[in-house]
Each structure stands twice: as C-alpha cells, then as structure tokens.
Amino acid sequence: MVAFNRTTLEEVIKKRFFFAPSFQIYGGVAGLYDYGPAGCALQANILDLWRRHFVLEEDMLEMDGSIMTPATVLKTSGHVDKFTDWMVTDTINGEIFRADHLVETVLEKRLNEDKQARLAELEGTNVVASKDKKKKNKIKPVKLDENMKAEYENILAKTGNDLSKPVEFNLMFESNIGPTGQLKGYLRPETAQGQFLNFKRFLEFNNDKMPFASASIGRSFRNEISPRSGLLRVREFTMAEIEHYVDPNNKDHPRFDEVKDIKLHLLPQNIQVEGKTNPIEISIGEAVEKKIVDNQTLGYFLARIHLFLIRLGIKNERLRFRQHMPNEMAHYACDCWDAEIQSSYGWIECVGCADRSAYDLTVHSNRTKEKLVVRENLSEPLVYEKTVLEINKKVFGPKLRQNAKAVEDYLFRLDEEQLKALKKALEVGNGKTTVPGTDGKEYEVFSEFFNIERQTITEYVREYTPNVIEPSFGIGRILYSLIEHVFWVREDDEQRAVLSFPPRVSPFKCLLVPLSNNPAFSDLVRDLSARLRKLSIAIKVDDSSNSIGRRYSRNDELGTPFAITIDFQSVNDNTVTLRERDTTKQIREKVDTILQVLKNLTEEEITWDEVMTKYPVFVQQELDS
Ligand SMILES: Nc1ncnc2c1ncn2[C@@H]1O[C@H](COP(=O)(O)OP(=O)(O)OP(=O)(O)O)[C@@H](O)[C@H]1O
C-alpha cells in the first residue's frame, strides 16, 4: 500500500478540477473556492443522497430561504452579539491567527499525552472557548481568570514573535439592504434562522402534526479569521441543515427501534475529561438507555448521520461522534455531539448535532410577539389550581387612563410567584402599592383595580414551544474528507492514483472509450452514448488519441467506477467490455447485457463481486496496458 501523500492528492484535485481557488488569476482570496465539473457532480450526488436519506425518508419539509438577512433577526438569535471568534495579530509580521487555534497548535507541540484533557479543560474558560461555541449564541465570553491568563500568555510567548491582545471579531459579513443604507443586513451564517421563522407555516403545512422536521440546503457565509486547510475552513460554503421539532415532554422517536442496534464510535464527555481520545464502540440503543446520549431523538439522528456518512464512502474507523464538554455547550442546549471525520488535517467536525431546546423559537417569539407554539388537543382535560389575575375594567381603565396599557402589560407578564408577592404587597399596604409599567415609570395601584386569586383551571388544549434537535452538515468538509478516504495509489511503476467513490456518489458513472479514434467506432460510440444517457447514467466519452491505459487512469483519478470499451470485435458482434475501476477486471458481453449490468451496478443493486461470479472475466492484456 502506497503511503498517503497529501501533495499527490492535491495534484489530482487540481488536475481533475474538483475544486480550485476562486479568482486565482487575480491572486485569489483565502477561503473562497470554485468547484469544477467533477466537484459539482460530486457535490450534487452528495446532496441528492442527503435529500433521499433525510428529506424523503423522513418526510421532512424542505425550504429554500433568503441568504440576505435583516440585522434584527440575527440580533434576536444572538449572532450580532455572540457570533465571534477571538483573534490575535503577530505584531512583527502582521499575520492574523484565530486565538483558540493558535493556542491549540502551541499546546499540541507542548503536550503529548494529556493534550485532549488539557484542551477539554481549557474549552470555554477563556478565549479558547471561541472554538465552537461562538455561533448561534453559543459563546458566552468569559473573562480570563488570573491563572488562565498566565497560562495563555505563557503559551503565546512560545510562538516566538510578540502577539497583540486578543480581540473579538464578528464572523458575519455585513451589508445594507436597499439604496438608503438604513436597513442593515448580513449574509446568513447558517440556514437555521430562516427555518425557525417559518415554523408556523411548516406546522400548518404538516396539518398541526408533531413531531416533524424542516430542512434546508444552501450557502452560508462566515468571515473566518484565517481560512486554512482547503475546503475545511472557508468563507462561503454549502450547508444542509435539519430542524426537528419535538415535544419537550417526550423526546422518544417513533423510528428509534429501526436504528437502536447500530454501533457508533462515541467520545463522551467523561472519556475526554480522562484525557483519552479512543472512542467507545456502543449501540445507540445502549447509549441512550445509559443516558450517554440524552434522548432517543438525538440518538436517532446520530445513527442516521452515521448511516449517511458510511453510505457516502466515509470509513467507519475514521468516523467518531464527540460530545461537547459542558462548558462548550450553549447554556440552553441539553446535549450536543459533533460527527468528526479524520483526515490528514486531524479529526474535523463535519456535522454538528445539537438539542437546542426551545431557545430559538422562544427568542423569535418574544421579539416579534408571534406565537411559535404547538396547540395540542387533550384527550383528557387538564385540571389544576393556579393563581391568576383578573383586571376590573370598570375601575382600572378610568383610573389609570393613558397609562393603563403600560401597567396592564406589566401585570400580565407576572408569573405565579410574582402575583402572590403583589397580593401580599397590597395586603401590607392596606390595599395600595406601586408597580412599574412597561414604560419604566412607577404607578400606584389599588386592590379594587384587579383580583388575584387561586382558581381551578380546566384546559382542553395544551400549548407548548417545541424543542429543536438540529443536525447541521457542512457539505464541503464532508466532500473533502470523502475524497481523502477514497483516495489511494496503485502499487505499479507509474503509481497511478484512484478515487474509489461508491458508484452512487462518483461524479461520472461510466467512461466510454473507443479503442482508437478509428471512424469505424463512431456509430457505436454515438449509439451507446445515447442509450446510456437515456438510462440516466452520467458518462464521459474519451475518444482522444491517448493510450487506453492512459485514458483509464485519467478516469480512475476522477473516480469513474466503470468503463465500456469499444473495439473491432464490438463492431462485428455487438459485444463490449465493461471494466471496473478498483480491480481493473473486465467482462465481455453483448451490449444489452452490459447496459443492464451497468444500470444495476450504478444504482448499487448489485456489486462488482456479484457480477464477477456471474460472468467470465475477460482477459485481454493489451487493452489495459
Ligand atoms: N468555515 C467553515 N468552512 C467550512 N465548513 C464549515 C465552516 N464552519 C462551519 N462549517 C460546517 O458547518 C457545520 C455546522 O456549523 P457549526 O456552526 O456547528 O460549526 P462550528 O462549530 O462553528 O465549526 P468550527 O468550530 O470548526 O468553526 C460544521 O459541522 C461544519 O461542517
């Protein structure tokens, strides 16, 4: 086995135009990439599989939302204030670093054994916290305590040059909507907010039935401080996100039984605290039962994410689910796991999967006064005692006049304990006390203005804000990791590179090669191309003058799993050969048979091994030389 070499892979990616830096002849801009024909087809196939695996399989409600987002939406979600990373500048050469990445890099050098434990310890306690919690209001910037500060400065000192003090940097691209410049907007940093804002429509569309999920695929933008590692950290990328809405009182999943036996590699908090990096292998059923994973719905999605990634061609032994440490998690989140894929850049988060509780719907509802709730008809009415306030309209309005609204709004926001306290205050004050209005002024109120008493409430409808489980996929990170996982080099003299994509995912399914550019083959090439297109098999015709072997290896680098070769015998007896990329083995059969076999292979209904047991191997060395 030839050892992995990233430079060789990068050459293939460039040569076969999977992706390349955007605007390169102008010098390029870090973190911006263009996808070429192979990259586009690969991404389209990944997204197609994603749609089938999640949207269609789970009856999810897909939407395509606006990218440009008014500032007020992202202010409410917390992004305007908290979607930040910390950055430091090298005062000598001006290089800018993300503070947490720098610390991590330096730590990596210094700590060998207990690195993970130290990182876990550092997470969330200072600037290092910005690693993961910034977005979606996840970061709570915490002041460095003296010990951490000393540690931090000590670490930075090791980098050689002087560094500036860390400053917070918001990752959103700002813009103005319309010509006046008065309506501030941002390019969205995720698709999620658009989904939350359409919750009411989704629920209606779903005939008010719960649970259900919405889904969205689209571009997101993050002005990363120092984009690096190719597609893994870019400034514009495709996300595929799911928001699954669930009853907070019952997070069981109706289809959990279907996945409960699937074994995952989990790296829960306790293992990380111990400083270990080896995940445990455990069935998701057991993980939920033992409360390693908080609830069935979250567990269900971890298993479905696993199945999806494996289906794409990600290697199981290089896939793990890492639980966020408590201080990494947002204050409102119950549990959060990242699907991390190992590549030559290390273990990289490619899918985040968080239980975001009722946070998002609540904040948008509070801000807009739009009720983002579920109303459930109860089969048995709910009867309970409650302290309630009833306004005495005959007195309240006439006495408070134009201030009545501000006082009423304040009173109706009081919870039970506060109502009890108000009642007590009126008793102590002999029927008189003061309350603040929502306008901030103080008002005198009297006991005849309202009644506060215990009442028996009978409810026929339960109203609740659903919790949200959010699997969030970075398609570029998955695409690159997949390319690394399926990349290998043949151990022959020429060290030819191969990308072993599964047929469903590969950019092109079949290469069509005439033995040479002899005109005798033209009719057959034209006829076969038309028939393959009709079968929806993405083909590439290569009738260049290169040797057959050269043409095969060019397509091995594109990951094309099969090749049909037309030779002189084909013209005479209507047989062609079908070659498989990884084994380079071939069969020779009539065109009709080959097309049927190929169709079954590309739809992954049969495997090449099965084909080999059914049809004799065709040996014609010179073809493959
Ligand atoms: N700059 C980026 N470039 C490419 N993909 C990204 C980038 N930021 C996030 N993603 C992808 O979007 C997914 C969901 O975004 P999320 O906000 O959870 O990421 P994140 O925690 O901010 O990532 P990181 O900590 O690596 O910056 C990630 O799992 C990742 O696959």
Q: How would DSSP label each residue in 107-136?
A: HHHH-STTHHHHHHHHTTTSGGGHHHHSTT
State yes or no: pLDDT of 114 exceeds 60.
no
What is the DSSP code (8-state) at residue 265? E
Predicted pLDDT at 178? 93
Instruction: List the domain range (segments joined by +) for residue 151.
Output: 85-168
Ligand 1 neighbour 234 (Cβ under 6 A): yes
Predicted pLDDT at 118? 55
d(CA 39, CA 17): 7
Is 32 part of any domain? no
Predicted pLDDT at 134? 40
State yes or no: pLDDT of 577 exceeds 90.
yes
Residues 517 and 586 in one domain: yes
Is 390 part of any domain? yes
Is 352 part of any domain? no
HSE of 235, CA atoms in CB hemisphere, 13 A = 18
Predicted pLDDT at 129? 37
Is 304 part of any domain? no
Boundary residue ending a domain (168, 193, 216) = 168
State yes or no: pLDDT of 584 exceeds 60.
yes
Residues 518 and 444 in one domain: no
**What CATH number is associated with residue 573?**
3.40.50.800
Is 341 part of any domain? no
Angle value at C-alpha 604, between 472 and 305, nearest 5 degrees:
15
Task: For 14-59, write each residue's pLDDT tens digit.
Answer: 999 999 999 999 999 999 999 999 999 999 999 999 999 999 999 9
- Could you give the dihedral angle defined by the CA atoms of residues 115, 120, 124 and 126, in that order, rounded to the nearest 10 degrees? -30
Stronger pLDDT, 413 or 493, i.e. the higher one: 413
State yes or no: pLDDT of 522 exceeds 70.
yes
Residues 597 and 536 in one domain: yes
Span 546-561, mean pLDDT? 95
Residue that has been written with the tokens 């998955």 in this structure: 478
Ligand 1 neighbour 135 (Cβ under 6 A): yes
Predicted pLDDT at 149? 53
Number of domains making up the chain: 3
| H/E run at residue 62 | strand 61-63
Ligand 1 neighbour 224 (Cβ under 6 A): yes
Whether ipTM > 0.90 holds is: yes
Predicted pLDDT at 125? 43
Q: How far is CA 577 from CA 399, 513, 560, 568, in A?
A: 95, 10, 15, 12
Residue that has been written with the tokens 């494996």 in this structure: 310
| Counts for the chain of helices (H) and strands (E), in that order | 25, 28
Predicted pLDDT at 124? 47
Residues 459 and 512 in one domain: no
Of all protein residues, the one whose alpha carbon is nearest to atom 22 of ligand 1 is 132
Residues 517 and 451 in one domain: no
Q: Mean pLDDT, the chain, as a whole number?
A: 89
* Residue of 484, 509, 497, 605 whose CA lies nearest to 45: 509
Pick the range with the lowest mean pLDDT from 155-159, 262-266, 364-368, 379-383.
Answer: 155-159
Three-state SS at 96: strand
Predicted pLDDT at 493? 73
Residues 527 and 581 in one domain: yes
Residues 434 and 539 in one domain: no
- Pairing label, strands 263-267, 319-323: parallel
Q: Are 383 and 458 in contact (CB under 8 A)?
A: yes
Residues 416 and 519 in one domain: no
d(CA 292, CA 297): 13
Residue 244 CA, ligand 1 centroid: distance in Å = 19
Is 197 part of any domain? no
Three-state SS at 444: strand
Ligand 1 neighbour 239 (Cβ under 6 A): yes
Q: Provide the pLDDT confidence category of residue 621 given band limits of 50, 70 and 90.
A: low
Ligand 1 neighbour 579 (Cβ under 6 A): no
* Mutate-to-test residue for ligand 1 from 29, 130, 135, highest number of ligand atoms within 8 A of CB: 135
Stronger pLDDT, 72 or 139, i.e. the higher one: 72
Residue 131 contacts by C-beta under 8 Å, 6 or more apart in sequence? 100, 101, 104, 123, 328
Task: For 200-244, write each residue's pLDDT tens digit.
Answer: 999 999 999 999 999 999 999 999 998 989 999 999 999 999 999
Predicted pLDDT at 153? 58
Predicted pLDDT at 84? 87
Boundary residue ending a domain (168, 201, 225) = 168
Of all protein residues, the one whose alpha carbon is nearest to atom 11 of ligand 1 is 474
**What CATH number is associated with residue 103?**
3.30.40
Residues 427 and 535 in one domain: no
Pick the range with the lowest mean pLDDT from 77-91, 173-187, 255-269.
Answer: 77-91
State yes or no: pLDDT of 106 exceeds 90.
no
* Mutate-to-test residue for ligand 1 from 130, 349, 350, highest number of ligand atoms within 8 A of CB: 349
Ligand 1 neighbour 82 (Cβ under 6 A): no
Q: Among the atoms of ligand 1, which is closest to the Cα of residue 475?
A: 31
Boundary residue ending a domain (446, 463, 480) = 463
Is 445 part of any domain? yes
Q: DSSP string of 529-572?
A: HHHHHHTT--EEE--SSS-HHHHHHHHHHHT--EEEEE-HHHHH
State yes or no: pLDDT of 137 exceeds 90.
no
Q: Structure pTM?
A: 0.84
- Pairing label, strands 510-514, 539-541: parallel
Span 328-337, mean pLDDT? 86
Residue 349 contacts by C-beta under 8 Å, 6 or more apart in sequence? 132, 322, 338, 339, 340, 474, 477
d(CA 379, CA 373): 19
Is 384 part of any domain? yes
Give me the helix-helix angle, 296-312 and 37-50, nearest 10°: 150
Ligand 1 neighbour 350 (Cβ under 6 A): yes
Residues 512 and 459 in one domain: no
Ligand 1 neighbour 222 (Cβ under 6 A): yes
Residue 190 CA, ligand 1 centroid: distance in Å = 9
